Chain A
Amino acid sequence: MNHAKNANANRERFLSFSLGSEEYAVPLLAVREVIALPEFTPVPYTPTYFLGIMNLRGQVISIMDLRQKLGIKPGLNTETAVIICDLNGASIGVVVDSVNTVLNPDSADVSDKPEIQSNRPTDYITGVYRKDKKLILFLDLSRSLSLEDHAAVRKSAEVRAPKAA
C-alpha cells in the first residue's frame, strides 16, 4: 500500500483506539471530534453494526459499531467512545472501545501489511505499525465500513435533486 508510505513522508499523524484487545489507528485529519456514546435512534432494515442515527448539535449523522463490523468482541471497559469522522465531506460516528493516543510514527516502523492467507477481507488495512512490541493496524475507514457498497446511495440522492429528461 503506497498510501501508508506516502503518508509517512509527511509524518502524518494518527489517532489510535482499541477494539477489544486490538489496537487500530486512523489518520488524524479524518477525525472531527471524539464524543461519549450518545443516545441514538435505531434504523430498521440496516445491518446490525449500523446502530442508528444521532443528533450532533442539530445535524443528524449515522453511527456505526466498528467492532461489530470487523467481527471483534467488544472489550469490557466502559470507556466506549464515538469518533466523529469526516469521510468525503459527510460525518459518520464510529463506536470504539476506547480512544488511546495520537501517534506520530516514524516511517521506519511502519510496513505494508504482511501477506497472510486469510478468509477475511483485509483491504481496509493500509499499513502496520510496530510500537513498543505493540501492533497497531492503520485503517481505511470508508473501506472498513464498506461505504463503497452503498453505491445506490448516489442514485437516491439524485432523485432528491431531480432533473427532468
Chain B
Amino acid sequence: MDDFEKELKLGFLEEASQLLADAEQCFLALESNPQDGPMLDKIFRLAHNLKGSSKAVGFEDIGVFTHRFESFLLKVKNGEIPVTSSVISLLLVCNDHIRSMVDTLKGDLDARIDSSALMERIESASHGEAAESEPVAAEPVFEEEIFEAPTPEEVELIRLVNHSFDANSIDAGVEMPAPVEAAPVIKVAPPINSVPAPAAHATPAPEESIRVSLARLEKLINSVGELVILQTVLREQSLSSNAHLLRKTIHQMGKVTKEVQDISMSLRMVPLRQTFQKMQRIVRDTSGMLAKKVALVTSGDDTELDKTVLENISDPLVHLIRNACDHGVESPEVRQAKGKPESGTVKLNAYHQSGKLVIEVKDDGGGIDGARLTAKAIEKGILKPGTVLPEQEAIHLIFHPGFSTKAQVTEVSGRGVGMDVVKTNIEALQGEVQVETVLGEGTTFKVILPLTLAIIDGMVVQNEGCRFVVPLSHVHETLKPAVEDVKHTTAMGEVLLLRGENLPLYRLNTLLGHKKAAMKSANEQIAMVIRYAGSPFAVLVDDILGQQQVVIKEVGSEIQNLKWMSGSAILGDGKPAIIIEMNELVKPAKRGAA
C-alpha cells in the first residue's frame, strides 16, 4: 500500500468517526420525533456518504455492510418500515458496528470484519416489520428478496450512487455533501475532521484545516514555553544595558512571543461537542435500562478546552450523567405523583467563567436528602452514631469512598465506586466539583476546570532562600498578620484569628521539614489563606515575590510520588521551582495535630 493510499484510508477513518457521531445524534433525534422527514433524509445522506467513501478508498467490508444498512434506511425513509423504538435500537446497533469496524481498521488497515450476523438481523427486520405492519406491501418486498430484482427504491438508489460518483463535488454539493474521498479534490484539501459537514443547507466553502499529530504539537508548545522563558531572561538582562534600540527590539519581541504562545496554546483547544454528543447516547441507554424517561438538553457545546483535559473529563462526565439518570430523575410514576412532567430532564451546560471552564450537570429529580445520607453513613459505619452534620457537609458524603445510597445496586450506577472516583479524577485535573441540591427539585453538579493543564497562574513565594510556586487558584487571600492575631496553643499548634474565623496556621518552614532553626515572628512573614477543596487554613511564608503564569513541567518519575509536589516550573532566571500542592503538604501536619 503506498503512502498516498494509506493517507486516504486514514483520512476516511477520521471522517467516518465524525459521520458516525453525527448519525448517532440523528437517530436519537429521530426517536423523539419519528415523523421528522428532513432528519431521515439527513441520516440517509450520511449513510450514503459513508458507503460511497468507504468503497472509494477500498474498504469493501464497510461498503457492503453500509449498502445493506442504506437499503434498510431507505425503506424506513419511504415509510415501508415504521420508526419504532426497536428499529432505532437496531439502527444504533448498526451504527456501533460500523464504528467498531472503523476502530478496528484504524489499528490495522487490512483487517477484515464479518458483519453477516448483523446483516441477517437487518434483513429479518426489514421482512418482519414490513410484514407485520403493512401486509399489503409485504408481497413485493418478499419478491424482491427472492429474485434479487431491483425495486424502484433500489433503482433510485443506484441512480443516486451513480449520480454522486459521476458528477463531482461541484454539482453534488447542492443535493448532498460529496463524499470527500471520492472526489479528486483530496489532493489539495486533506480531509477535515473537526468541521462536521452541515447537511441541511448548501455547504459554504469550509475553512481549510490540516491534521497534526499531538506529539508534534506538544513539542511545539514545549519549545514555545522555552522561548517565553528565554525572552524573559533576555529582557531582564537588557534592563542593565543602555542600548535603547536593543531594549525596544526586545520589547517588541516580547509582544510577538506572547502572541505565538497564545496561538500555540489555542492549538490544543478542542470543542466539547463530540463529548456532549456521546452523552445523548448514554442518557438514552441508561434511561432505557431503568425504564425512565429522560431527555438530555445540552448547551454550550462550542465551548473549547484543552484536549488532555477533555480526554480525562469524559469518564467522570459519563458517571455524573448516569448518576443523574439513575439516582436523580425519579421513575415516571413517582414524578406523576409529585405533579412533575413524566419525562425528566438532564441539562448539560458548559460555559467559561473567570478563566475557568464550568460544566454543569443539572437534573430535575428528587434532589439529595442530607438526612438520608447521614443515616446511611451511620449505618455503613462511616460516621459515628448520633452524628448530625450540617446540610452541605452531609451532601458531600456522596464523595466518600464506598458510599452508595440507592438501596438497590443497579447495573447502571451504584457499585459504590462512583462519586469518589469522579472527585479524585477531577481534582487530578486541578479542578473541583460543587454540588447544589434542592430537595424535590433537583441537583446540579458543577465541574470547574482549568482551561489548560499546561499553564497555570502561580504565586511565587520565597522561603529560606528557595522559591516555590503555589497555584493562584488555591490562594484565597494573603495578609500580614498582626502579632495579636496569632495565638499559640499546645493542643492545636498555631491559630490565626481572621475576621471571626479561627484558621489553623502552619509555617512553610516546618511543613517542608526544616527544623525550627529560626522561628521568625509571624508579623515578619506573610500568611497565605488557602481555601481550596477542604477546610481552609493559613500558611506562613517568608515573602511573596510576585504572580506570574508558569508552564508546568513534569518532574522525573523518581519524585512523582511526592504528592505535595504537583510539578515544577522554570522561573525567569532559568532555575526550576517546585509547584506546591498545599492541601497535600499540610496533611501530615493535620494528622499530627489531631
Contacts and interface: CB of A to CB of B under 8 A. Distances in A.
B554 A60 contact: yes
Given A41-B577, A53-B568, A150 B424 contact: no
A82 B315 CA distance: 43
Contacts of A145: 558
Interface stretch (A103-111, A121-129, A154-162): A154-162
Contacts, number: 106
Interface in B419-433: 421-422, 424-425, 428-429
A156 B563 contact: yes
A157 B562 CA distance: 11
A45 B556 contact: no
Interface in A62-111: 62, 64, 90-92
Contacts of B553: 58-60
A61 interface: yes
Interface in B543-561: 553-561
A46 B561 CA distance: 11
B512 A157 contact: no
Nearest to B562: A45
A40 B225 CA distance: 20
Nearest to A39: B575
A90 B560 CA distance: 12
A92 B558 CA distance: 9
B422 A164 contact: yes
B512 A44 contact: yes
A147 interface: yes
Majority SS at the chain A contact face: mixed
B428 A162 contact: yes
B355 interface: no
Interface string B572-592: 001111100000000000000
A40 B512 CA distance: 17
Residue of A45, A60, A62, A163 with highest tally of chain B CB at under 10 A: A60
B203 interface: no
Contacts of A164: 315-316, 318-319, 421-422, 425
B556 A163 contact: no
A91 B554 CA distance: 12
B367 to A, nearest CB: 24
Interface in B301-317: 312, 315-316
A150 B568 contact: no
Contacts of A39: 575
B462 interface: no
Interface string A123-165: 0000000000000000000000101001011111101111111
Contacts of A60: 553-556, 568, 570, 576
Given A41-B577, A44-B512, A160 B428 contact: yes
Contact of B558 (A45, A147, A161, A163): A147
Interface in B186-222: 222
Interface string B403-416: 00000000000010
Contact of B555 (A40, A53, A57, A161): A53
B223 interface: yes
A57 B556 contact: no
Interface in B443-466: 466
A46 to B, nearest CB: 6
B483 interface: no
A150 B562 CA distance: 10
B576 A162 contact: no
A43 interface: yes
Interface in B297-354: 312, 315-316, 318-319
A153 B558 contact: yes
A94 to B, nearest CB: 12
A162 B426 CA distance: 9
B152 interface: no
A130 to B, nearest CB: 33
B578 A41 contact: yes
A83 B466 CA distance: 25
Contacts of B576: 40-41, 53-55, 60
B534 to A, nearest CB: 17
A44 B513 contact: yes
Contacts of B424: 159, 162
B417 interface: yes
B338 to A, nearest CB: 31
A90 B557 CA distance: 8
Contact of A156 (B319, B512, B514, B560): B560
A92 B429 CA distance: 26
- Looking at B223, B418, B563, B578, the one whose CB has the most chain A CB atoms below 10 A away is B578
Contacts of A57: 226
Given A62-B556, A160-B428, A164-B316, A43 B417 contact: no
Contacts of B554: 60
B229 interface: yes
The 3 tightest CB contacts between A and B, nearest first, are A164-B315, A58-B226, A162-B425
18 contacts: A39-B575, A42-B466, A45-B512, A50-B558, A50-B559, A53-B555, A53-B568, A53-B578, A55-B576, A60-B554, A60-B568, A62-B559, A90-B557, A156-B563, A157-B560, A162-B421, A164-B315, A165-B421
